[in-house]
Every structure is written in structure tokens, then in C-alpha cells.
Amino acid sequence: MADIVKEITKRDVDFATWYTDVCKKSDLVDYSSVKGSMIIRPYGYAIWEKMQSILDQEFKKTGHQNLQMPMFIPESLLNVEKNHVAGFAPEVAWVTHGGGELLEERMCVRPTSEVLFCDHFKKIIKSYRDLPLLYNQWCTIVRWEKTTRPFLRSREILWQEGHTMHETKEEAIAETKRMLKIYEDFQRNYLALPVIVGKKTEKEKFAGAEATYTIEAMMYNGYALQNGTSHYFGNGFAKAFGIEFLNRNQKLEYPYQTSWGVTTRMIGALIMTHSDDHGLVLPPKIAPILVNLIPIGKDEKVIEKINEIAKLLEDKGITTNIDNSEKSPGFKFAESEVKGYPLRIELGSRDYENNTVTIVRRDTLEKIMVTFEDIMSKVSELLDDIQANLYNRALERRNSMLYEAVSLDEFKYLAKEKSGFIKINWCGDTSCEEHIKEETGLKSRCITEEETATGKCPICGKKALYKTYFGRQY
Amino acid sequence: MADIVKEITKRDVDFATWYTDVCKKSDLVDYSSVKGSMIIRPYGYAIWEKMQSILDQEFKKTGHQNLQMPMFIPESLLNVEKNHVAGFAPEVAWVTHGGGELLEERMCVRPTSEVLFCDHFKKIIKSYRDLPLLYNQWCTIVRWEKTTRPFLRSREILWQEGHTMHETKEEAIAETKRMLKIYEDFQRNYLALPVIVGKKTEKEKFAGAEATYTIEAMMYNGYALQNGTSHYFGNGFAKAFGIEFLNRNQKLEYPYQTSWGVTTRMIGALIMTHSDDHGLVLPPKIAPILVNLIPIGKDEKVIEKINEIAKLLEDKGITTNIDNSEKSPGFKFAESEVKGYPLRIELGSRDYENNTVTIVRRDTLEKIMVTFEDIMSKVSELLDDIQANLYNRALERRNSMLYEAVSLDEFKYLAKEKSGFIKINWCGDTSCEEHIKEETGLKSRCITEEETATGKCPICGKKALYKTYFGRQY
């Protein structure tokens, strides 16, 4: 095994160090002199660009328009909605000086942009004809975290934030769920993540929201990662900001609002779900480069053939990389695995004489001998197969780590002995939710809407209203 | 004339107010509660997305990779290169508090990212095999301007900044000029701007650069707009940051650096070059919507035909908008002009019976009757013609405002009586450049590399080395 792979800590030995090793060795990120901020290197940024491009198309197909709001929020504007400011003020960064002078009013770098959008909505919404207003922005936000981890928790976060305004409550709730579904489909179909979808509890919902819906992904170690949220605001912000529209009956009314977002954290979820001791593993539908071609030796015929194969693949829209460096074949193979290219094709002089190449799939490391003429069809087939296999493998693992507890004792036992999510009947009272957290350290992840609860809350003995997942989280 | 157009100040009456009227009335921007920052509304942002998409393809074709650096710069890092910090420190915004606490070291929001890139380059550049390193990032920067104007001068600027490192001086200079050429071609071919290209004087070059090349666009009123720059840094930053690589002779050497950028200011240049008293005028190659279709009346056959034409156009990749609102035809026509859609198609019941539509081109407001079957070919032809006409019109106007002065008196006369750029022989001394500025208020725009100077500097009488353009600027 080449040094580059030896440098990666074993996943089962130290999961946290394994994760940062994979992030760094595969050239996704680097640390910088700016504490708490990371550099997203070209290979990592290419994954984000693919995510952006797919999601942006979905947003536009559903009628959303991109725009760009200011990055600063004056303190008085942040203060307008009381629940919202209480949630965010403790973790913002404040700009106090500009152009060599103390500012009259300090401004924070946006931790999210609800108040900026509301300030704009107040000016442009007059009538029901102006609704729905379906906006989105791709930008960077800042939340002053104490401890950070690449992609998962960072002071600067690249994300998109959708902000919409609607005539009716029903339409706004439908929008909240529609965007959650777009996130869910994207994460299942492209990222191969078997996510669990549900509603946050009152305690865990977004500051200022009436309801928060969430996508919860389970990492290899059983921890939960909140991997996208969609919020229904009712008209709380509209009232606080005085946003009113003339409805179809010529009466003034407050519109109903949503917001929803996903971040570069999704890259962290990809790594913590699919990658292994050899490095990164990427689902083909999100990998910037699908096939890494490695010529063995310096035989000109081999190099020529490698170029020819690469050209044929590129012409079919299959992205490639040719490793023409002077490194040893063993090093190139290891590096190909660290980088998580879904397939690598090896070709030496002997293979050339036999009209064959070796294809190695990254997910299973299986080697497949293929004749020249079968390369194209085999590559397509394998890419589809890897995409499906990664999803199924993750689903199986996730299912093996889903538990259900019928009593607090059983919950405590599972929380202590097992990794994963624990489902439990719950009455809906925050005190019972907090009791579980105090006893076990586990927080509620989401209320599943697929199942209705029967029986009692095992904490207080009252009627159970919900089936709720609990778990440890990033 | 509908009210919406009456609200636009006449261009020849008050150019500055005309400009902000056009920006606002055409829904490109809105002001916000954040002083000095603007909201780029969906229509304005769609223009920026088109610019990004075209340029990003050009950058990638020439081997550049996108990445994302932190948005903050610790004060000590900004201080590393002395000329650079002197240029930028006075106009930055400082973050002094984060997460409720005073920071140990304050950080500015990046005004540009040379120092962040250098800090990273120091870690990743070891050998000539690591070069060239061709990076780019799309992001927002902050410069604390006192007076602001939509797109032209704002505290927050959306831009791209390329940063590259090279083995040799020659290669770095070639890169500086290659990227300038990409900007020039883009602005000529897509934005229809007849830009003037050249080198900045020592006095006007970028803080820390050895040479700055610039794209100077001339606005309708004769003012100059610096619409893109490309800098050659030599190895000054590399020395300041201790970036060294092992060259092909196994010796340690400092690499050679470039950076280059364009901003949303290009949208301002579009407006100030092509637009008129009716509102925005956009070159078809950068317009988000090419054809605005306006049904006159509520005849169902008309509506159906409009939808059919729109579908045919969209299928050919020609973007459309259908104005089905309840506004009057006159209002719709005026709004179509304010928004600068290159073509509008009007169709009423009578036209329908005659199998004809009226096409109105935005650049000349000329009306053209076309039979149904000729719509597609006529639209394509007109779009090409508008693109060419806007460029030629701007070129002609620009040429009519280029002057050459052979004496300081003539220069002073032209500066006082004429709008535009004045070319003059110049010895290259900063004192002569400053003398011109003190006497006339005009700053040097660029040294043209197309023409060599003969004769004397009219200020000091020494041998002239350069032909240099001077002008008033935004």
C-alpha cells in the first residue's frame, strides 16, 4: 500500500481523524490562517459546483429566481423579529469599523437572510398579483462556531437559501414540503444518501419558524447529520416587518412565508456515508471525474490508446482524468482510490497486445478485465451499478442502526450500547424531550410523518402523539 | 407614453439620475436598509449569471480551476506585503467581535484575496511540477466606499478573481495578457462594448503589482469606466510570503504571479453605453430574455398563437417572456422597452386574421410586419442585427469622442470643452501625469500599446515614451 493511503487513519480506529484525513488527503479542503474557516480546494469545489448546478435547475424548473442580497445586516434590522434574533445574535460576527471609521451602527455578517428578504418584500409586495414570490440566493453565511470541522461545522458556510412569500397558508406549507422533497430526491438519487425525512420538534425548530422540516442523514458511525431544512414561517415575520398585500377581496392581509437551505455540509455527508480506509468514495452522479486512466509504462502505443479511450468517454459525456505523471503505478492506483474516482482504467503493454484493459471499481475495489471493444458499454454499466450499490449499501447499514425503544430503560440501554437512531413514542411535551436528552445525551432528530403513534409516552405516561427519532449529532 | 417611461429622467438632461432611474425602473436593482449595499434583483442577477456562465467556460477552457477561499483576512496576514496593505487598508471593513467576544486579532472582509492565495500557495507549491497553478474564485468582496452608485461603486462587489503562479516571468506575463484578451473579446463580442485596452501607469497600477493591464470602456457621457484589470506581480508577493519551488535545475526559486478580475460593474457599463430615454437596452448575447410576446386583447386564438410562437422560439434556444398581465397594451409596450428586451412581438385579433405579427426592435424602436411563417428567420436575423448595431453605434460614438492633444494648452481646451478621452504624448514621469491631473482633473486611463510615441512630452519637453489616454472616470 502506498504511503498516501497509509497516512489515512483507519475508520474504525478513530472516525473523527479518519474523516479529516480523507478530507485533506483527497485534496477537498485545506486549512488556512483564518481560524475556523477552510479553503475549499478545486476538487472539493467541483463537487459543490455539481451540486449547485443540479439543484439550481430544480429550483428554476419550479419557478424560483436567483437574486443577491447584501451580506451585512444592521443590528436594528436583525432585532426586528424577536425569536429570530434570540436564536442568531449569540453566534454572529460583527463589523464595527469601515473605511477607517467607527460605524454609527454595527452590522453583522449575515448568518441567514430572512430579515434582509423581509425588508425587501415590504417594498415590493403590494397585491396578490405580486404573489407567490419565489426567490433563492447562493451565497456565503457566517456563524461564529467555537469548534469547527471541514464541511460539517465552519465559521463560513457556502449555501443556498430560498425565501418565498404566498397568498395563503396552505400554499406556503405546500411550498415548504415541495422544496423538502426536492432536497430528499436530490440526496437519494444523486448523493446516494438514504435520508430520513420529518419535522423538527418545537425545541429544535428554526428561530422564528412555525414549523421546520428536516432531512436527517445517518453517518457511518451512526451519528445524525441535519442535511437540509425547510421552514414554514406563517406570517410572523410579515407582521413584525409590516408586509401586507391587497388580497382578492381588496382587503389588506399578511402573506405567508417559507425559507429553505442546503449547504456544503452535504459534501461531509457524502464522505461520512460512503468513504473507506482507502480514501474518498463518490457516487458517480456527483463525482467531478468519473474515470481515471492510468497508462503503465511509457509505451507510446499505450499512451495513444489511453488518449483514444479518454476521448471516446468524454464524447459520451463521461468525465476523465489521465494520470501521465512520473509516479509509480502503485502510487497512481492508491492515489486514484484516495481521490475516489468511481472507476480507474489500467493499461500496460501486455494488456495492449491482448486488446484488454483492467477496470477497477472504487466502491468494491473489484478488478474487471475488459476487451477494448467492450470498454464503453462496461463503463456505463459499472457507473450505474456503483450508484445503486452505494445507495443500497448505505441503506442496509442505516437500517441495521435504526432501533425502537418502548420504555425509557430500553432507550437508555440502546443509547449506551448501540450507535444509530432510536425511535420512540412521544407525547409532544418539550419536558419529556429534555428528560431524554438529560438522561442519555441524545437529541430529537425528527418526528416521522409516515407513522402515527399508538400507546403512551414512556416518559410521562400520557398519550403518545408522535413517533420521534433521537440520535447523537454533528 | 406610459407613466413608467415618463418616470425616467432624460439622459441628456441629467445623466446620473437617468442612470439610477434606468437601474431601478427596469428592476435590475433595489436599495436596501444596508447603507452602501444594493440588492441585485432577479432580472439584474440573471444578467450576471449569463456573464458568469460565459466567462467561466472561457476560464475552464484555458485550464483554470475554481475554488473558494475564506472571506476574512486577519490583520497580520493583510500586512505581509507592504505596498498591497497600503493600497487596501484604508478602505476595508473590520470584524472585531465574533460569538459574543472581542477577537484577539481583528479581521477584514476581503477587499481582494492575493494574501489568502499566497498563504495557500506557500503550502502547496513545492516543485516546478506543481506549476502553473491556475486558480479562480467567484465571490463577493468589500470595499468601504463613501459614495456609491448601483453596479459602478458599491461597498459589496460581486466578482471573479483569478490567481495564478508560474515558473517563469515570461509565462506569467503571457498569462496576464491572455486573460486580458479573454476579457476584451467577451466585452466586444457579448457586451458590444468597443473597449480600449492598455497598460496602467505606475501611479494608477494595482497596489503590489509590477504591471496592471486594463480594459477601459467609454460611457455615453464620455466618462471612462475601468471594466476589468489583469495584473502581473513578478515575484514580489512570493518573496514576501516565502513561496519557493524547486526548479528544473533543482534550485529553489520564487514563482511569478498574476491576478485578474471583472465585476458586476460590467452591468453598469452595459447600461451607460447602450440604454436610452425609454430604459434599458441589452445586447442579445447577454440579455436573459430575448423576445417579449404581447397578446393584444383576450381573443383565445391570439393567446394560443402567442404560446405557439413562444414554444417555437424556446425550442430554438431563444428565451421568451409572455406578458399575459391585465395591463393596457400601451403600458406593456412601454414596460417592454424599459426592461430592454431586444425584441417584442405584438399580436392582436386583426393581425391574427392577416397571419401577421408586428416585431419591434428595442435598439431602433423600428416596427416590422412579418407573416407567421417568417417569424423564426426574422427573429434570428434581427437579433444578430441588433448585436452588431449596438456595437457599431457605440464604436462610432466612442470614436467621435477620442481626441489627441499636441500641447498642454490644447489638452486643457479639450478637457474643458469636450467629453471623452484625450490622447497625449508622455515621457512616463509621474510628475507630468500629476501635473495634467492638477490642471484639468483628468486622470490617465491607459498607455496604449498599439502606437509608439514620437516627439516630446508636452509637459516637460523630454522625449515622449508613450501615447497615453486621459479621461474623467467613474
Neighboring chain B residues of A46 at a CB cutoff of 8 Å: 65-66
Q: Cα torsion at A251, A254, A255, A260 (round to 10°)?
A: 180
Are residues A312 and A249 both part of a single domain?
no
Q: What is the mean pLDDT of residues B19-24?
A: 98
Structurally, how many domains does chain A consist of? 3
Is the same domain home to B240 and B323? no
Q: Are B70 and A109 a contacting pair at CB < 8 A?
A: no
How many interchain CB pairs under 8 A, A with B?
Answer: 155
Across the interface, whether the CB atoms of A96 and B96 are under 8 A apart is answered yes
Of A351, A386, A421, which closes a domain? A386
The answer to whether the beta carbons of residues A453 and A442 sit under 8 Å apart is no
Of A33, A99, A109, Cβ closest to residue B146: A99
- Kindly state the cell numbers that stand for A308: 483514444
Per-residue pLDDT at A454: 86
- Domain assignment present for B431: yes
ipTM score assigned to the predicted complex: 0.96
- pLDDT tens per residue across span A11-23: 999 999 999 999 9
Mean pLDDT for the stretch of residues B345-358: 96
In chain B, the percentage of residues whose pLDDT exceeds 90 is 94
| Residue in A314, A370, A377 with CA at minimum distance from that of residue A347 | A370
Q: What is the mean pLDDT of residues B24-52?
A: 96
Which phi and psi angles does B250 have, rounded to 5°?
Answer: 60, 25
Q: Provide mean pLDDT across the span B250-259.
A: 98
| C-alpha span between A20 and A26 (Å, rounded) | 10
pLDDT at position B2 is 55
| Among the partner residues A77, A135, A144, nearest to B98 by beta-carbon distance | A144
Do the chains contact at A37 and B70, CB–CB below 8 Å?
yes
Residue B128 confidence (pLDDT) above 50: yes
Report helix, strand or coil for A211.
strand
Among A44, A95, A129, beta carbon nearest to B94: A95
B210 & B320 share domain: no
Q: Which residues of chain A have pLDDT under 50?
A: 1
DSSP structural state of residue A112: S
Answer whether A418's CB lies under 8 Å from A403's CB: yes
Encoded amino acid at A33, one letter: S
For residues B22 and B29, what is the distance between their CA atoms, to the nearest angstrom? 10
d(CA A192, CA A202): 30
Cβ–Cβ < 8 Å for A131, A167: yes
pLDDT average, residue stretch B66-93 = 93
pLDDT value for B451: 86
Mention every residue, 6+ apart, whose C-beta is less than 8 A from residue B10. Answer: B18, B277
Instruction: Give the separation between CA B435 and CA B449, rounded to whole angstroms.
Output: 23
Residue at A451: amino acid letter: E
Residue A208 CA to residue A234 CA, distance in Å, equals 10
Q: Which of residues B239, B274, B309 is at a domain's end?
A: B274
Residue B59: φ, ψ to 5°: -65, -40
Q: Is the pLDDT of residue B96 over 70?
A: yes
**Of the candidates B160, B405, B128, B441, which has an alpha carbon nearest to the alpha carbon of residue B256?**
B128
Domain presence at residue A247: yes
pLDDT of B449 = 85
Q: What digits encode the pLDDT tens for the residues B387-400?
A: 999 999 999 999 99
Residue B411 forms part of a structural domain: yes
How much is the pLDDT for B138? Answer: 98
The answer to whether A99 and B91 are in contact (CB under 8 A) is: yes
| Chain B positions in Cβ-Cβ contact with residue A68 (cut-off 8 Å) | 39-40, 45, 48, 158
In a domain, B395, yes or no: no
Same domain membership, residue B106 and residue B40:
yes
Whether residue B199 contacts residue B214, with contact meaning beta carbons closer than 8 Å, is answered with yes
| Chain A positions in Cβ-Cβ contact with residue B45 (cut-off 8 Å) | 65-68
Locus of grid cell 450499490: A389
* Cβ separation A34–B158 shorter than 8 A: no
Q: Provide the CA B229 distance to its chain's centre, in angstroms.
A: 10
The amino acid occupying position B229 is: T
Mark yes or no for CB contact A65/B72 under 8 Å: no
pLDDT band at B240 (very low <50, low <70, confident <90, very high): very high
Which residues in chain A touch residue B37, judged by CB atoms under 8 angstroms apart? 70-72
A421-426 and A466-471 strand pairing: antiparallel
- Cell triple for A425: 413514542
Alpha carbons B160 and B73: distance in angstroms, whole number:
17
| Calpha distance A58→A45 (Å, rounded) | 20
Last residue of a domain, one of A386, A420, A447: A386
Q: Are residues A326 and A458 in the same domain?
A: no
- The C-alpha cell that represents A331 in the structure block: 502510487
A250 and A380 both lie in a single domain? no
Which chain B residues are within 8 Å of A34, Cβ to Cβ? 70, 72-74, 77, 107, 116
**A92/B98 CB distance under 8 A:** yes
Q: In chain B, what residues touch A52 (CB-CB under 8 Å)?
A: none
DSSP, residue by residue, B262-295: EETHHHHHHHHHH-BTTB----TTT-S--EEEEE
Closest to A337 in 3D by CA, of A271, A268, A279, A274: A279
Respond yes or no on whether the N-terminal peptide bond of residue A132 is cis (omega within 30° of 0): yes
Cα(A206)–Cα(A204) distance, integer angstroms: 7
d(CA A411, CA A442): 10
Residue A109 forms beta bridges with which residues? Answer: A72
Distance from CA of B262 to the nearest CA of A (A): 17
CA–CA min distance A282, chain B (Å): 19
CB B326 within 8 A of CB B273: no
Which residue from A minimizes the CA distance to B27?
A124
User: Rounded to whole angstroms, what are the CA distances from B192 to B15, B182, B188?
Assistant: 21, 14, 5
Higher pLDDT, A52 or B326: A52
CA pair distance A15, A366, nearest whole angstrom: 25
Asked if residue A455 and residue A323 are part of one domain, the reply reads: no
Backbone angles phi, psi at B419, to 5 degrees: -105, 145
Q: Is B301 within the bounds of a domain? A: yes
Is B98's CB within 8 Å of A100's CB?
A: no
One-character DSSP codes across B405-464: ESSHHHHHHHHHH--SEEEEEE-S-HHHHHHHHHHH-PEEEEEESSS---SB-TTT-SBP
Q: Considering only CB atoms, which chain A residues are within 8 Å of B34?
A: 70, 72-74, 77, 107, 116
Q: What is the CATH number of the domain that holds A433?
A: 3.30.110.30
CATH code for the domain of A366? 3.40.50.800
Which cell is A360 given? 477497477
Q: What mean pLDDT is predicted for residues B264-284? A: 98
- Same domain assignment for residues A47 and A110: yes
pLDDT computed for residue A450 by the predictor: 85
Q: Which among B24, B34, B138 is the top mutation candidate for probing chain A, defined by the most A β-carbons within 10 Å of its own β-carbon?
A: B34
Whether residue A110 is found in the same domain as residue A57: yes
**Does B90 sit within 8 Å of A99, measured CB to CB?**
yes
- Say yes or no to pLDDT of B40 above 80: yes
A240 and A376, same domain (yes or no): no
Q: How far apart are CA B225 and CA B19, in angstroms?
A: 14
pTM of the model: 0.97
Q: Look at the block and give the residue holding cell 479518454.
A: A310
**Rounded distance between C-alpha atoms, residue A291 and residue A285, angstroms:** 12
The letter for the amino acid at A18 is: W
Distances (CA, A) of A372 to A312, A320, A321, A377, B395: 12, 17, 18, 10, 56
B255 with B315, same domain: the answer is: no
Residue B210 lies in a domain: yes
Residue B282 lies in a domain: no
User: Following DSSP, what letter does each residue of B109-142 receive, concatenated?
Assistant: EPSS-HHHHHHHHHHH--BGGG--EEEEEEEEEE
Nearest-Cα distance to chain B for A398, in Å, is 32
Q: Return the pLDDT at A451.
A: 86
Q: What is the CATH number of the domain that holds A226?
A: 3.30.930.10
DSSP letter at B90 equals: G
Strand partners, B463: B456
Q: How far is A120 from chain B (nearest CA, A)?
A: 7
**A395, three cell numbers:** 441503506
Residue A111 shares a structural domain with residue A256: yes
Which residues in chain A have Cβ-Cβ distances shorter than 8 Å to B156? 70-72
Q: What domain range includes position A24?
A: 3-274
In this structure, is residue B392 part of a structural domain?
Answer: no
